[in-house]
Structure 1
Amino acid sequence: MQPANLFPLIVVLVAIAFALGYARSRALAMPLGGIRNLKSLPFYYAARAAMWCGLPALLILACWLGFEAKVIQTLIVGSLPAELRPDTAGQASLVLSQISNVASGALSGDFAPEGIAAAAERLEALRAQSTFMMTALVLSIAVLGGFIAWLRIAPHINAREKVESTLRKIFFLCAALAILTTVGIIFSVIFETIRFFGKVSFIEFFFGTSWSPQTAIRADQVGADGAFGMIPLFVGTLLISSIAMLVAVPVGLMSAIYLSEYASKPVRAIFKPALEMLAGVPTVVYGFFAALTVAPFISDIAEAIGLSASSQSALAAGLVMGIMIIPFVSSLSDDVINAVPQTMRDGSLALGATQSETMKKVIFPAALPGIMGGVLLAVSRAIGETMIVVMAAGLAANMTANPLEAVTTVTVQIVTLLVGDQEFDSAKTLAAFALGMMLFIVTLLLNIVALHVVRKYREQYD
C-alpha cells in the first residue's frame, strides 16, 4: 500500500480507537454511578487510546519513508557487478538514475547493460517488498497500540494528565525542530562563509567597491581574477528598499488610518478587500508591470525634462515594489489600530479632543508597536524581493545613489551565482553564502532595533 493510501487508513484506525476508548470508558463508569466517578472525562480516555494508536504508527511511517530510499540504493549498488560498481558519489548518482529509468520504463532494458537491467528488476522487487513490509508493520503497530490503550483504560487512571503531558512533549518537539532547523541553516551558511573568506580577503569583501565574481570554476578554465566588494550590492539594496518604503509606509499607513477611523462601513467593506488583493498578485506580474510600463514611463519623463535615465532603473523597481508592499503595512496597521481599546478613544473625546487629535495623540502612539512590526515586515519583504529587481532594475552592480540608473541587490546576485551547474568549491559560488550571511545579520539588526522601539512604547502605554 502506498503512503498516500496508508495515511488515511491510519486516520481511520485512530478514529476507531477514539470511539472504542470513549465507549469503554463510559461502560466502565456505569457500574460506579456515572462518569463523575472517573478520574478524567471519557474524552481523555478516548484521546489517549487514539494517541497510542496513531503516534507510534506515524513515527514508524516517517522513519521508514526517511530511510527507505537510502537503504534500497545501498543494497542496489552493493549488488552490482564489479565492473559496474561506481567509485565516486557522482558515478553512483548516474548509475542509480539509469537503473531507476529502466525500472520505471523510461529507458528500455534492451539498450542498457545486462547488470543494469538485472539491478532494475532487483530495484522493483525491493520496492515492492519494502512497501509490503511497511504497510504490515505500520498497521500492526497501530492496531496493537490501540488495543493496548483500550485494555489499559481504568477509572483510577488520570487520562487527562497523561494526554496533556504527551501533548506538551509534542509541542516541545515541534518548537525544538523549528529551532534546530534555524540553527542548522545558520551554521551551514557560516561554514560556507568561512570557506569563502579562505579564498577572498575579508577586507576586499567588506570594503571593496567593485563586484564582478566571474572567476574560473576549475583549474583548467580561463577566468578573470574577479572582484568581490559587497558595497555596490548593499547600496543598490538600500536604494531600492528606501524608495519602496517611501511609497509603501505613507500610503499604507494613511490608508489604514482612513479605513479604521474615518471610512464608513460600506466603504471599508469594499476598499479593504480591494487593497489586500494587491498582496495576492504574483511578484512576476509586478515585474512585468515594472519592466513594460513603469520603467519606459520614467525614462520618457526623464528625457522630457532633460535627464538621462536607464531603461532599467532603481526608481522603477522601487516604485512597483512599494505598491506591492502597501497591503503588508496597511492590513497590519489597520488591525493594530482597531485593537486599541475603545475606552481610550472615548476618554480622549470626552476631554474635548477632536477625532484628528485623538488619532495623533492617543491612538497612534498606543498602536505604534504593532505598526512598527508591520513596517519591519515590509522592510524584510523589500530586502528579500528578487523578481521585480531582476526585471526592472537589472543586474549591473553600480555603486550609485542616482535612482535613474540600473542597480542590483544582494538577493538578485545570490540567485545569479547559484543558477546552473556549479561546483561549491570556488569563490564565485561561495560568495552567495557570504552575501546570505551578511543579509541575515542586517535583518537581525533590523529586528533588534524594532524590538527596542516596541518595548519602549509598550512599557509606556500598557
Structure 2
Amino acid sequence: MSVSLLIWILIALGAAGYIVGRKKALVSADGNQLGLHSLVGYYGWSVALASFLAGVCVIVLLKFAGSFAEVFSNPALLTIAALAAALAAFALTVVRIDKDFRARNYVEAMVKGLLFTASLIAILTTVMIVFSMLFETGRFFSQYSWTEFFFGLNWAPNFRGDSDLGMLPLLWGTIYVSLIALAVAVPIGLFSAIYLVEYASPRVRSFAKPAIEVLAGIPTIVYGLFALITVGPLLRDWFAQPMGLGNSSASVMTAGLVMGIMLIPFVSSLSDDIINAVPRAMRDGSLGLGATQSETIRRVVIPAALPGIVGAILLAASRAIGETMIVVLGAGAAARMSLNPFEAMTTVTVKIVSQLTGDTDFASPETLVAFALGITLFFLTLCLNVLALYIVRRYREQYE
C-alpha cells in the first residue's frame, strides 16, 4: 500500500474517531453538554488526533529506520504497524472518555506537541543542510588545497585532473553585482518609502504601495529575460560601445541594474514599516519647534529609524548575493576580476549550478567544488543576517 493511500485511511479513521468521541462523551453525560468537563468537540478531536498522529508517527519512524535497515522498508510492515498504532490509540482514547475526562487539556497538549515538532523540523532541516554541505566540502578539501581554493585567482575547471578552482574571481563578481544592485535599490526603495509615509496622501499610498510590491511577485527568470532582451542591449548600444568599454550585452551592470529593480520592493516595504514605527509625537515635537517637514525627516525620523533601515539594507544584500537566474542571463558566465562594469562576469551561485548540471562525476573535485562554494556563500549570507539582527537589536529605539 502506498503511503499516500495509507494517509487517507488514517484521515478517514480520524474522522470516524471524531464522531465516536463526541457520541460517547454525550452518552456519558446523559446528553447534557453542561455536564462535560470540556466542550463536546474536544472529545471528538481527542480521538481523531490521537489515532491519526499515532499512525503518522509510526510511518515516519519506519521510513527513517528503513533508510538504515532493509527490513523496515517493507511496505506490508509499514501498513500493518501504522494501522495497528492508529487503532490502538483510537481504542485507548475512546475507553478513557467520560464526562470528567479533560479532553481540552488532552487536545491542547497534542496541538502543542505539533507546534513544537514544526519548529523542530525547521531547525533540524537547517542543521542537516549545514552538515551535508560540510561533509561534501570535507571531501573536496581532501582532494584539493584549501589555500588554492580560497586565494586562487584563476577559475578553470575541467575533468582532466589539472583544474584551477580559485574562488576569488567568483567572489569578486558576486560582490560587484550585489554592490551595483544595492546602489540602485537602496536610494530608490528608501526614497519611495519616505514619500509614501511622509508625503503621500492616503489615496496615493493605497495605490502606490501595492504597485511597488507587485515587483516582488515577479519570478526572477522574468527579470533575467528582461535583462537579456532589453536592458543588456540598451546598455551596450548607449554606453558600452560609444565609450569603448565593451561590445557584449551581458555585463555586470546589466545584472546589477535589473537585480536592483528586483530589490526595490524589498527595501521599500521594510523601510516603510520601520519609518511608520517612529512615533508621531516625535514628528509633532520637531514641527512644533519650528523645523520644516524635510528637516524633521532628515534630523528626527531617519536617525530614529536608521538601525532598522541598515538592517533592511543588509538583508537586501543577502538576497542579492544569493540570486542566480538574473546573473545567468544578464551577466554571463565569464570568471574574471575586472573593474569594468560593462564586461561579462559571473557569481558563486551561477558556478554552483554549472558544476552540478550535466553528466558529472560526483567524486571529482570539479563537482565537489560546488559544495565548497555553497558553504562559503552560506556563511557569507549568515554573517550578513547576523549583523543585520545585531544592528537592529543593539541600536533599536524602544517607543511606547
TM-score by length of 2: 0.87
Shift in Å at residue 449 of structure 1? 1.6
Counterpart check, 1:286 vs 2:232: no
Moved more, 354-363 or 326-335: 354-363
Describe how 1:19-418 pairs up with structure 2 within 5 A: 19-29=19-29, 35=34, 38-62=36-60, 130=75, 141-216=85-160, 225-303=162-240, 305-311=242-248, 312-350=250-288, 352-418=290-356
The secondary structure found in structure 2 opposite 1:199 is coil
Pair 1:198–1:72, CA change in 2 (3 A) = closer
Distance 1:392 1:215 in 2: 27
Whether contact under 8 Å (1:366, 1:457) holds in the other structure is no
Shift in Å at residue 42 of structure 1? 3.4
Whether contact under 8 Å (1:28, 1:154) holds in the other structure is yes
Moved more, 62-71 or 297-306: 62-71
Shift in Å at residue 61 of structure 1? 4.4
Whether contact under 8 Å (1:209, 1:230) holds in the other structure is yes
Whether contact under 8 Å (1:196, 1:431) holds in the other structure is yes
Whether contact under 8 Å (2:181, 2:257) holds in the other structure is yes
Pair 1:260–1:29, CA change in 2 (3 A) = farther
Shift in Å at residue 344 of structure 1? 4.5
Task: Give CA-to-partner distance per residue, 1:206-233, whole Å, 9 cap, x none.
Answer: 21111112232xxxxxx5x121211111
Corresponding residue number in structure 1 for 2:369: 431
In our comparison, the structure showing a higher alpha carbon Rg is 1
Distance 2:19 2:384 in 1: 51
Corresponding residue number in structure 1 for 2:18: 18
* One-letter code aligned to 2:214: M
Pair 1:176–1:308, CA change in 2 (3 A) = same
Whether contact under 8 Å (2:245, 2:340) holds in the other structure is no
Whether contact under 8 Å (1:365, 1:457) holds in the other structure is no
Whether contact under 8 Å (1:276, 1:327) holds in the other structure is yes
Structure 1 gaps, min length 5:
76-125, 217-222
* One-letter code aligned to 2:385: N
Task: Give CA-to-partner distance per residue, 1:98-142, whole Å, 9 cap, x none.
Answer: xxxxxxxxxxxxxxxxxxxxxxxxxxxx9xxx57x8667655654
* One-letter code aligned to 1:284: I
* One-letter code aligned to 1:321: M
TM-score by length of 1: 0.76
* One-letter code aligned to 1:234: L
Match of 2:378 among 409, 432, 440: 440
* One-letter code aligned to 1:47: W
Pair 1:43–1:345, CA change in 2 (3 A) = farther
Distance 2:153 2:243 in 1: 29
Shift in Å at residue 389 of structure 1? 1.0
Moved more, 405-414 or 64-73: 64-73
Whether contact under 8 Å (2:63, 2:72) holds in the other structure is no
Distance 1:397 1:293 in 2: 23
Pair 1:284–1:142, CA change in 2 (3 A) = same
Q: Percent identity?
A: 49
Shift in Å at residue 419 of structure 1? 0.8
Distance 1:22 1:272 in 2: 49
Shift in Å at residue 399 of structure 1? 0.7
Task: Give CA-to-partner distance per residue, 1:296-337, whole Å, 9 cap, x none.
Answer: 211122256433224121001100111111111122222333
Q: How many residues align?
A: 399
Distance 2:108 2:318 in 1: 37
Shift in Å at residue 295 of structure 1? 1.4
Whether contact under 8 Å (2:24, 2:97) holds in the other structure is yes
Distance 1:152 1:455 in 2: 49
The secondary structure found in structure 2 opposite 1:449 is helix
The secondary structure found in structure 2 opposite 1:289 is helix
* One-letter code aligned to 1:55: L
Shift in Å at residue 56 of structure 1? 1.3
Corresponding residue number in structure 2 for 1:80: none
CA RMSD of aligned residues (A): 3.1
Task: Give CA-to-partner distance per residue, 1:215-252, whole Å, 9 cap, x none.
Answer: 32xxxxxx5x1212111111110000000011111111
Distance 1:358 1:6 in 2: 64
Distance 1:7 1:414 in 2: 37
Moved more, 371-380 or 247-256: 371-380
The secondary structure found in structure 2 opposite 1:189 is helix
Shift in Å at residue 67 of structure 1? 7.5
Pair 1:275–1:69, CA change in 2 (3 A) = same
Whether contact under 8 Å (2:51, 2:90) holds in the other structure is yes
Distance 1:400 1:359 in 2: 39
Pair 1:143–1:358, CA change in 2 (3 A) = farther
